[in-house]
Amino acid sequence: MTSLDSANQKPHAWLARQSRWSPLEIAFWLATLLPFYFFPTYLTLASQIAITALFAISVDLILGYAGIVTLGHAMFFGLGAYAAGLLSVYGWGEPISGLLFAAAIAGLAGWLASFVIVRVQHLALIMITLGLGFLTYELANAMTWLTGGTDGLRGIRTWPIFNYFRFDLWGYTAYSYSLAALFLGFLLSRRIVNSSFGLALRGVRENVRRMPAIGSDYRRHLQKIYVISAAIAGTAGGLLAQTTNVVALDALGFQRSADVVVMLILGGTGRLYGAIVGAVIFLVARDQLAGINPQYWYFWIGLLLMFVVLVMPKGILGGLASLAARWRGRG
């Protein structure tokens, strides 16, 4: 789906067509409002799914569109969470400026890391992201005086949004807030991937060596998308800190980095919606299975992952898309 359908089309026309909204997309976003009415007792879960989906989108931007496989993206998620949390602990609990602060801190860290990231590929790239992730985790553990260490950061008080919407026990505010952030993050990402910059990124993913030959400074492109991705991941982390008022080391953990990649591949890479669908399916399945059987739920998750790979090698969305294409071809 990422290759141009036919070579004689003008790229701009293709991009314009790509950025048009389909009815299916509009229906999808309307469906995200359903939990308010049909599952009001699941709103906290919905809020955490929205946050994870935003995180997964940030990974899709680099993995799905620029080919940067990462096992350490939780470092930006966690940095954002700690940034937003610490801002509140030190007296400024206004949520929206807190999110911007979280994005800025994570983006800054992403910018620093990007100088290393763009110079390596393949296994070395994966392992360096993993190493940086672990280093950040250990650093946060070592700086217990600031982060609260293993016990977690305490004393976060997030003020009401617009000084009006208080974070309630049911999670109405939390879900509204996270969903709004997810939607804005999605809009931004959609714009990016459907721009000529997004096109250049796909070129990098498909063939790094050819990009300089057509006059594209691929390292600067990669750096740019990496910083954007880090900032979005930081925003997701900030959201988690603000909606739960807690941050602990697990926000930076390897588990989180690995899980988000699993969700993304599960949903399907390089199509933004794959990130959201993957997060929804993984987390809902996990919640339901763990509710039934808290000790062995991961057995079924494991089977689900294996099954999806064997049956739908392009992820769930990819599988659905090819099914739809076949059906349309027949009809």
Partner 1 sequence: MLNKAAAATLLGLGLAWSSTALAQETVKIGVILPYSGPFADAANQLQAGIDLYISKHGDEVAGKKIEIIKRDTGGPAPDVAQRMAQELVVRDGVDILAGFALTPEALGAAPIADEAQKLMVVMNAATSIVTEQSPYIVRTSVTIPQLNYAFGQWAFNEAGIKQAYTLVSDYGPGHDAESSFSKGFTEAGGEIVGSDRTPVANPDFSAYVQRVRDANPEAVYIFVPGGAQPAAIGKALADRGLAPPDTKIFAQGELTHPEALESMGENARGIITTFHYTLERDDPLNKEYVDGYHAANNGRSPDLFSIGGYDGMHLIYEALKATEGDASGDALVEAAKGMSWQSPRGPMSIDPETRDVVQTVYIREVQEVDGKLQNVIIHEIPEVKDPLHGAN
Partner 2 sequence: MIGQIAIVLFDGFAFGMLLFVLSVGLSVTLGLMNFINLAHGAFGMLGGYVTVLAMRQLGLPFLLALPAAFLTAALVSVVFERTLFRRLYKAGELNQVLFTIGVVFVAAAVATYAFGTVQQVIILPSWLRGSVEVFGLRLGVYRIFLIAIALAVTALLVFGLERTRLGAQIRAAVDNQRMAQGLGLDVERIFAITFALGSGLAGLGGALAIEIVGLDPSFGFHYLVYVLIVVAVGGLGSITGSFVGAALLGIGDVAGKYFVPEIGSFLIYLLLVAILFVRPLGLFGKR
**By the criterion CB under 8 A, which residues form the site for partner 1?**
36, 40-42, 44-45, 48, 138, 141-142, 144, 149-152, 154, 164-166, 168-173, 176, 240, 244-251, 255, 290-291, 294-298
Specify the 3-state DSSP secondary structure of 161. strand
Task: Copy the structure tokens of residue 115.
Answer: 């100088």
Burial per residue of 87-115, b for 16 or more beta-carbon CB atoms within 10 angstroms, e otherwise: bbbeeebbbeebbbbbbebbbbbbeebbe
Task: Copy the structure tokens of residue 322.
Answer: 């090819």
Q: Is 134 in the site for partner 2 (CB under 8 A)?
A: yes
Task: Copy the structure tokens of residue 163.
Answer: 């000084």
Contact 249, 137 (CB under 8 A): yes
Is the Cβ of residue 15 or residue 258 nearer to partner 2 in the bound state? Answer: 258
Nearest Cα neighbor of 57 from 195, 216, 248, 186 is 186
In the complex, the smallest distance separating the C-beta of residue 224 from partner 2, rounded to whole angstroms, is: 21
Is the Cβ of residue 180 or residue 306 nearer to partner 2 in the bound state? Answer: 306
How far apart are the C-alpha atoms of 2 and 267, rounded to whole Å? 16
Is the Cβ of residue 114 or residue 173 nearer to partner 1 in the bound state? Answer: 173
Is the Cβ of residue 47 or residue 194 nearer to partner 1 in the bound state? Answer: 47
How far apart are the C-alpha atoms of 51 and 315, rounded to whole Å? 21
In the complex, the smallest distance separating the C-beta of residue 109 from partner 2, rounded to whole angstroms, is: 15
Q: Is 128 in the site for partner 2 (CB under 8 A)?
A: yes
Residue 92 binds which of partner 2, partner 1, none (CB < 5-8 A, kind-dependent): none
Nearest Cα neighbor of 275 from 53, 72, 71 is 53
Specify the 3-state DSSP secondary structure of 165. strand
Contact 62, 70 (CB under 8 A): yes
Q: Is 292 in the site for partner 2 (CB under 8 A)?
A: no
Residue 309 binds which of partner 2, partner 1, none (CB < 5-8 A, kind-dependent): partner 2
Binding mask 53-72 for partner 2 (x = CB under 8 A): ----------------x---
Residue 169 binds which of partner 1, partner 2, none (CB < 5-8 A, kind-dependent): partner 1
Contact 304, 315 (CB under 8 A): no
* Phi–psi pair at 247, nearest 5 degrees: -140, 135
Is the Cβ of residue 271 or residue 286 nearer to partner 1 in the bound state? Answer: 286
Q: Is 302 in the site for partner 2 (CB under 8 A)?
A: yes
Nearest Cα neighbor of 98 from 51, 265, 90 is 90
3-state helix vs strand vs coil in the chain, percent to 5: 75, 0, 25
Residue 16 binds which of partner 1, partner 2, none (CB < 5-8 A, kind-dependent): none
Binding mask 201-240 for partner 2 (x = CB under 8 A): ----------------------------------------
Q: Within 13 Å and on the Cβ side, how many CA atoms surround 202?
A: 16
Binding mask 21-60 for partner 2 (x = CB under 8 A): ----------------------------------------
Q: Is 123 in the site for partner 2 (CB under 8 A)?
A: yes
In the complex, the smallest distance separating the C-beta of residue 330 from partner 2, rounded to whole angstroms, is: 26
How far apart are the C-alpha atoms of 331 and 233, rounded to whole Å? 42
Q: Is 141 in the site for partner 2 (CB under 8 A)?
A: yes
At 302, the amino acid letter reads G
Binding site for partner 2 (CB under 8 A): 69, 116, 119-128, 130-132, 134-135, 138-139, 141-142, 254, 258, 261-262, 265-266, 269, 295-296, 298-299, 301-306, 308-310, 313
